[in-house]
Copies of this chain bind each other. A is one copy, B any other.
Amino acid sequence: MNRLTDLLKIKYPIIQGGMIWCSGWRLVSAVSNNGGLGLIGSGSMYPDNLEHHIKKCKENTANSFGVNLPLMYPDIKEHIKVILKEKIKIVFTSAGNPMTYTKILKDNGVTVVHVVANKKFALKCIDAGVDAIVAEGFEAGGHNGHEEITSLCLIPQIRSCIDIPLIAAGGIASGSSMLAAMSLGADGVQIGSLFASSKESSAHNNFKDKILQAKDGDTKLTLKEIMPVRLLKNEFYNQVINAYKTNASREDLVNILSKGRAKIGMFEGDVKNGELEIGQVAAMIDSIKEVKDIFTDLIEDFNFHNNRISDIHFD
């Protein structure tokens, strides 16, 4: 279809974000079987668990799939060992410097895509020799950039400074937003929240219910001193806000966070005390769908809006 689908050997330029606690083999293989690129979220896996999910993906899809690798993962060398041993063909790296691990991956035949939130890191990606870039806007769930650049501003800015394939992320949960991203110069999209809420996501049902209930303004970017993260407002979020009000130190904040909060909330379903990472588009998600229906709806909606818009021509 285009150079991105050629690079990743997929039918549709739709990538499922490799989200912690949501992106196990069931979600990944379903996305890949439906023509997108599924990504295992290795950030919440021990190396042996990552290996298990890779093996299950191989059993459950013959199509392209990959691994998302947060570069701040403590045991990252073990993860890379697993990735190379299992001959993974596609790795999306994030949350770190693309110079560090791109070479070893590419030397082993891996296609490397790196996630950025500003121009400076996009240019670093080019120096590092990555194959494609994900530009992730302020509206995205989970970890985010310090500059708070929205997708509408970020995509064209990154497009203007790189020539390699560009994937837009943040704020995309419909065919019309996919069309908007491609209007801005993206070759494809990475979708997180919508797949986090899918039937095949390994997120706890309590978390999925909270996604369906979310209204506009119910997520917020916070914990900016440690690493900015977009969360659904809940009791845990209020605890963070109260910590700010009492002038908590960075250490206090780290302490509030470092109790496995993400796992508690997203995987175990304690939606009061857990950290619920989700994007602003949660406000537009109102049912739990199967991955195949998500694809059908995205494609139909994209084609509908592209037909609607294509007649507009200004003299």
Q: Which of the listed residues A149, A170, A247 has the most CB atoms from chain B within 10 Å of its own CB?
A: A149
Known: A176-B183, A180-B184, A185-B176. A148 touches B118 (CB 8 A): no
Copy number in this complex? 2
B149 to A183, Cβ gap below 8 A?
Answer: no
- Stretch of A25-33, A94-102, A105-113, A300-308 that contacts chain B: A300-308
Q: How far is the CA of A157 from the CA of B214 in the complex (A)?
A: 13
User: Of the candidates B152, B153, B180, B284, which one forms a contact with A157 in the assembled complex, judged by CB atoms under 8 Å apart?
Assistant: B284
A310 to B314, Cβ gap below 8 A?
Answer: no
A215 to B179, Cβ gap below 8 A?
Answer: no
Q: Which of the listed residues A1, A280, A312, A314 has the most CB atoms from chain B within 10 Å of its own CB?
A: A314
Cβ contacts A290-315/B at 8 Å (1 or 0 each): 00000000010011011001101111
Known: A118-B217, A177-B184, A185-B176. A151 touches B148 (CB 8 A): no
A171 to B150, Cβ gap below 8 A?
Answer: yes
B284 to A153, Cβ gap below 8 A?
Answer: yes
Interface residues of A in 163-217 (CB under 8 A from B): 170-172, 174, 176-177, 179-185, 215-217
A114 interfacial contact with B, CB 8 Å: no
Known: A152-B170, A283-B153. A146 touches B217 (CB 8 A): yes
A147 interfacial contact with B, CB 8 Å: yes
A267 interfacial contact with B, CB 8 Å: no
Output the least CB separation between A186 and chain B (Å): 10
A152 to B149, Cβ gap below 8 A?
Answer: no
A182 to B149, Cβ gap below 8 A?
Answer: no
Q: How far is the CA of A137 from the CA of B216 in the complex (A)?
A: 12
Residues of B within 8 A of A305 (CB): 183
Residues of B within 8 A of A184 (CB): 176-177, 180
Interface residues of A in 23-78 (CB under 8 A from B): none
B152 to A151, Cβ gap below 8 A?
Answer: yes
A266 interfacial contact with B, CB 8 Å: no
A281 interfacial contact with B, CB 8 Å: yes
Known: A183-B309, A306-B312, A312-B306. A152 touches B150 (CB 8 A): yes
B216 to A119, Cβ gap below 8 A?
Answer: yes
| A residues apposed to B, CB below 8 Å | 1, 12, 118-119, 137-139, 146-154, 156-157, 160, 170-172, 174, 176-177, 179-185, 215-217, 220-221, 247, 280-281, 283-284, 299, 302-303, 305-306, 309-310, 312-315
Ranked 4 nearest A-B pairs via Cβ: A147-B217, A152-B171, A310-B310, A180-B180
